[in-house]
Structure 1
Amino acid sequence: MLGWLRRNFATPAELKAAGVLGLNERNRACISALNPRSRFPLVDDKLQTKLLAQDYQLATPALLGVIRQQAEIAHFERFLPQQGGFAIKPAKGSGGKGILVIQHRSGDRYLKASGEWVSRQQIEHHLSNLISGLYSLGGHPDVAIIETLIRSHQAFEDFTFEGVPDIRVIVYRGYPVMAMMRLSTHASDGKANLHQGALGVGIDLGSGCALQAVQHDRPVHLHPDTGKPLSQLRISNWQYLLELASRCYDMTRLGYLGADLVVDAEHGPLLLELNARPGLAIQMANGTGLKPRLLKINRHCEGVRGPEEPFQLRVEVARRLFSGTVTASSVPEVCSGD
């Protein structure tokens, strides 16, 4: 992480001045201090997360079925919807690995989000690898989750390519402290994965409006596939989305987590998954560091009930503290160009 940051910022002194949170400090001061290991399975296992979210009445993509044994693979089609697409995910995967999104089915042929057709045998092979643990944390045996397909809201139609954008919100001690939207591109194969070439767009916590955007840690102003100016990105239902992210603290009792949300065309805001070890590239997308925001929340919690405040109040506090505080020049850069 430190090497990645140094490629984008001039000096360690400027990193410190910008309040950039590094990997070691994140692990020590945030994850080890605030995330009990006994709670990790609640977010490391997407099936557990989904079932827990149902108990807390947090909306998630509908669960169609679960495949646990190799012998069940031959009958996977019994879980598929009569119409429309679906997604196959490893319960214990990470970084988007092992996720297969199918837009349409025609007989024994399946259309991926990228436009590529795959066969029934390829689906079965993917499920077999998934259950064997090819995509799971530590390579342990896993289970396959089959969910309904998320349809991107029309408001984001020109901001993404061949995929559904998602919103990452960092929640610290129950308070949203930073957010970005990840926009898929042709280079990312329709996946909202920054490492594969998706765009990271910093979002102002106060307004839900775009601040700046990066691709492969370099600033961009237009979506490379659609040509849409990224500065025009606006997220509606922003208060509700932040409340959804904040409630994930109440559900998991993890003091430092990443909540990944989507806005479905039919069902609105949904919780996609949670991460107990969220990455730090969100700082580059926002053009500012996390540390000053964490310190502000710590100071706020000294005189109040802190995370025990109602989630609505926690969101109001975060929007007030971090509204309009980010600018593209907040963090010094050594990279240039679009």
Structure 2
Amino acid sequence: MKRFAVSSIGLAAVMATTMSAAQARDQIRIVGSSTVFPFASYVAEELGATTKWPTPVIESTGSGGGMKLFCEGNGLNTPDITNASRRMKPSEFERCQENGVTDVTEAMVGYDGIAFAQSNTNDAVAVTREQIAMALLEQVPVDGKLVDNPHKMWSDIDSSLPAREIRVYGPPTTSGTRDAFEELVLEAVTEEMEAYGNEGYANLRKDGAYIDAGENDNLIVQKLQNDVDAFGIFGYSFLEENADKLSGASIDGVKPEPEAIGSGEYPVSRSLWFYVKNSHADDVPAMGDYVELFMSDKMISGMGYLKGIGLIPMPEDLLNEWQTNVADRKQLELSDLK
């Protein structure tokens, strides 16, 4: 009987090893931000072309959608990495913890600006964040009281603005770009206004002035080519990629240009991220090479390839700090996000 027990244990170990091998996979699964998507795709294609690993599969689900999928659990049917155009929220971290996703490494890869763009068949436009907010918020102050937004034309807000109907194509609620736009424009403006109780207000109009155009920023680019009176909200990299078709409005007197975005002078600048599920590292061995490649000087330094497609690099000392954190697989803590 004792010999049989040992044999059974040995058989169980072999079966467990076989099942683990069957579950392991070579191809990385990545979800998340549409803004980070072109940068992650470049790295993925480079990995596929220069290593033994297959090109990772990347889905553009939006930052919020990606976090939801990433935090579902540790099973290999869940994503290995999620991209984000804003930092993980404390509530998302807590959801990860509740579902057993407790060993996560955070990686900052650079900066991006949110462009407020139009067809370049129009004259250049300069707007303020307050003017954008007064065009798009569901309720605005009139005579000190909040009322449903009455503005139909940009010139209704300020006579210096174009006599064009207010129509803005932008990202959905699952998008990190939407989160950043609400925080950096709408909430930043309304926090300073007594009519809103000096609290951030970011409810967007539902009367057609703001049009949810989905997660695909390229679709917004196409719409602006056809709807030349409209504006669009998306990451700077898409503006740079389509500079022959679109122009970005200056915001608070600052144009959306790399130096102004990197320095923070451009008022709608944000950092870009990805998050690594370290529990998958053994069963998805390609993750190590992908993460190392993404964080390399070759990709995200001032001379890196991703700068050529719109990523705004970090200062060298900050880059070195993040490279070290990621190489050491520093475990993300809730206190890091507050």
* Structure (1/2) with the larger helix percentage: 2
* Structure ID, larger Rg: 2
Higher relative contact order (CA 8 A, sep 6+): 2
TM range (shorter): under 0.3
* Structure (1/2) with the larger strand percentage: 1
TM-score (norm 1): 0.24
